[in-house]
Amino acid sequence: MAQTDRLIIDFSELDWTGPGAARISHEGAMPAEIVASLLMRVIRSGAQRAVDGAPLEPVSFNLDTTAPASSKGVTCFDCEIDRRTRTLVFAHGSAHLEERTLMTATAVYRIAGQGSQG
């Protein structure tokens, strides 16, 4: 049987610095999977605010890794809402370690109960 790594992400470690913005301190390298999960959490939080807390269903995610989080420091995350329609929320965000962009992401969410599933 193949051994698998266990990935545990504690979202409570995020320090929310404002609407659509958070940061986390880390003592060493942070795997891209953790950066991606934290970034998507920040983006989802921004999308939730855009719909006043209505339930959201994920439609699409796109992640681009541009640099590894290979050292200790404070990684900052931000999110912006690009557009909201009656049924969808379009958002994007990024993760930065000091001046380096680590990752960018886009997300589309369906506002639950709005529109059809196709």
pLDDT at 79 over 50: yes
Can you give the residue ranges of every domain in the chain? 20-111
Centroid of chain to Cα 118:
26
| Length reported for the chain | 118
Average pLDDT, the chain: 89
User: Which sign, positive or negative, has the C-alpha torsion 91, 96, 101, 103?
Assistant: negative
pLDDT at 30 over 90: no
Please state, as a whole number, how many other Cβ atoms lie within 10 Å of the Cβ of residue 26.
16
Distance, in Å, from the CA atom of 92 to the CA atom of 82, rounded to the nearest integer, reads 7
Q: Does domain 20-111 have CATH number 3.10.129.10?
A: yes
- For residue 1, the model assigns a pLDDT of 47
- For residue 118, the model assigns a pLDDT of 46
Distance, in Å, from the CA atom of 45 to the CA atom of 106, rounded to the nearest integer, reads 13
pLDDT at 115 over 70: no
**Could you tell me the pTM of the whole model?**
0.86
